[in-house]
Amino acid sequence: MKLQFLDQVSEEEAKCLLCKATLRSYVESLGEDFQDYFVQRAIVQNKFLDQIWDTISRQRHIPTIVLVADEDPSAPAALEYFDLAGQFKVLDGLQRSNRLSIIWKTIFFLEGEFQDDSSVPPTRMARKYSEHLRKLECAPSLFVKMLEAKRKLGVGESLAALFDDNHIWLEIWVNLSQSEQIRKMLILNAGHKSVNIKHQIELLFIEYLSVLKGALPNSTIFREKEISAQRYSKERQPRQFHFAHLIASFESLNLGKPITTNSEFSASHSFPSDEDDTDELLRVDEGLISQFARTLSRLDAGLSTKAGIGWLSREVVLVGLFGAIGRYGREHRITSTDALKYFEENVSDYIASLDLEAFEKVRNSLELSKVNIGTKNKRAVYDATLEFLEAPSSKKVDWQRHFGV
């Protein structure tokens, strides 16, 4: 990618270069897999972003895009042009980059294999080429605007010239650690409605994902950008888990209490104090996670009924359950790994004691206007599990007592 150097800032070993590039140079440098960067969420629907064609056609400013480069370019002089070697990832501006890429591909279509008929309205042409537009991921409304613009061009003029005449500012980070990439992404996206808390938490614990997948080889672990936690809870099948739920469960185990995955939790793990190791959030206790996964597998295998599958689909259930196991370990001065093994030894009695029909009946009897149903759920499961661990038995859980009704 051909860039013009404008300015530079440094943060310890990392540095950020502010540069300018033509839109053509930028979009032609985007790899086919530019959307796959692990910190990014999925492409979202956004009507404001869909208006980016108007910004391009009027040659107006496109907000700065932030990249992470694999290679550190030699220090360029002010206003000097240079080539960015190696690969780069989009840290902030994925949605804009995606739409710029779609527009660029659509321009190639319009000025290549597309056969126009000026007597046919653009809307009808959009319907005629609807299948091709779907492949391009180009919305019909966008295609209509672009075709209208193309029909207004003079002899020898081209829509592609817009990408030569328009420029974009790029912030290019180099030598940025993975943990710092995550933190900067969360800061850059703060306030963006589409960046939900589950996605943020998954990023903070992304190193857990490969370990969990290895410990649960015959299971599927979904990320929030693949399926929302809400949808997962309704559609869960055996041996399916949601990554955000597993993180919350594991952290509840570590803390010995059920946690709440909210913005405060995300922020506390995003920005440790200056005394903390900046890569602390990426450290993984693989032995503990493996035992956690084995315990979860035993639960999943034992709770194979429709009620059991649904019960394990709830984050509030998992954080209550594993929070209690963590608390038991602390109170009895044993490791979390040993506490998990102890629970696993007695898991058959635990499953037999649950009486999930009674759980649902009591839960559904609560007055939603008077209680926080999520807090009630996880506290009831926490108390019932801790009580079971103190005296393992297949005796049915008294859910009325644990829900306080």
**Tens digits of residue pLDDT in 43-70:** 656 555 567 898 999 889 998 999 988 8
Residue 137 zone, left/alpha/beta (φ > 0; ψ -120 to 50; rest): left
Strand 14-22 and strand 167-174: the pairing is antiparallel
- DSSP characters for 236-253? --TTEEEHHHHHHHHHHH
Give the model's confidence band at 100: pLDDT under 50 very low, under 70 low, under 90 confident, else very high: very high
Nearest to 374 by CA among 318, 332, 294: 318
- Rounded to whole angstroms, the Cα distance separating 101 from 360 reads 49
pLDDT mean across residues, the chain: 86
- Rounded to whole angstroms, the Cα distance separating 50 from 47 reads 5
Reply yes or no on whether the pLDDT at 373 is more than 60.
yes
Strands (E), 44-87: 65-69, 81-83
In the chain, what percentage of residues exceed pLDDT 90? 54
> pTM for the whole thing?
0.58
Higher pLDDT, 303 or 186: 303
Reply yes or no on whether the pLDDT at 198 is more than 90.
no
Residue 116 zone, left/alpha/beta (φ > 0; ψ -120 to 50; rest): beta
Other CB atoms within 10 Å distance of the CB of residue 97: 21
Are the C-beta atoms of 84 and 3 separated by less than 8 Å?
Answer: yes
Mean local confidence (pLDDT), 346-355: 96
**Tens digits of residue pLDDT in 272-326:** 444 444 344 445 578 898 999 999 999 999 999 999 999 999 999 999 999 999 9
Phi, psi of 393 (to 5 degrees): -165, 155
Residue 190: predicted pLDDT? 55
**Tens digits of residue pLDDT in 139-167:** 898 999 999 999 999 888 999 999 999 99
Q: Could you tell me which residues are beta bridge partners of residue 168?
A: 21
Question: How big is the chain, counted in residues?
Answer: 405
Nearest to 65 by CA among 28, 14, 19: 19
